[in-house]
Amino acid sequence: MRAWLATRLPRPRPAAGRMTPEAAILIATVAVLLLLGLVMSFSASFVRSTVETGDPFGIFRRQLGWALVGLVPLLLLARSDPQQWRRFATPLLLLALSLSALVLVPSIGLEAYGARRWLAVGPVTLQPSELLKLAVPLYLAHLLARRWRRVRGGDLHALLMPALPLLVLVAGLVIAEPDLETSALLVAIGGLVLFTAGLPTRLLVLGGVGLGAFAVVAITQVEFRVGRIAAWLDPMADPSNLGYQSVQGFLALGSGGWLGTGLGQGRGKWLYLPNADTDFIFAIIGEELGLVGALATLLLYAALAVGGVRTARLAVDPFGRLLAVGITGWLLMQATMNIGSVVGLLPVTGVTLPLVSVGGSSLVVTMAGVGALLAIARTTRQPLAAAEEPARRDGAQR
Question: Would residue 259 count as lying in a domain?
Answer: yes
Report the alpha-carbon angle 151-155-161, nearest 5.
85
Question: Would residue 54 count as lying in a domain?
Answer: yes
Question: Would residue 312 count as lying in a domain?
Answer: yes
Question: Would residue 389 count as lying in a domain?
Answer: no
HSE-up of residue 395 (Cα within 13 Å, Cβ side): 5
DSSP-derived secondary structure letter, 348: -
Structure confidence at residue 146 (pLDDT): 95
Mean pLDDT for back-to-back runs of 10 residues, the chain (398 residues): 48 55 96 97 95 93 96 96 95 96 90 81 87 98 96 92 95 92 95 95 91 87 85 90 94 94 94 94 97 98 97 96 98 97 92 94 96 95 50 43
Question: Would residue 396 count as lying in a domain?
Answer: no
Contact 29, 307 (CB under 8 A): yes
Question: Would residue 305 count as lying in a domain?
Answer: yes
Instruction: Write out the residue range of the structural domain in which residue 233 sits.
Output: 2-7+37-382
Is the full-model pTM beyond 0.95?
Answer: no
Q: What gap in Å lies between CA 169 and CA 92, rounded to an integer? A: 15
Structure confidence at residue 31 (pLDDT): 97
Q: What gap in Å lies between CA 60 and CA 44, rounded to an integer? A: 9
Q: What gap in Å lies between CA 159 and CA 165, rounded to an integer? A: 12
Q: What gap in Å lies between CA 72 and CA 220, rounded to an integer? A: 43
Structure confidence at residue 11 (pLDDT): 37
Question: Would residue 29 count as lying in a domain?
Answer: no
Structure confidence at residue 389 (pLDDT): 43
Structure confidence at residue 17 (pLDDT): 53
Q: What gap in Å lies between CA 336 and CA 190, rounded to an integer? A: 17
Q: How many domains does the chain have?
A: 1
What order of strands is seen across the sheet that includes strand 110-112? 110-112, 115-121, 124-126
Question: Would residue 20 count as lying in a domain?
Answer: no
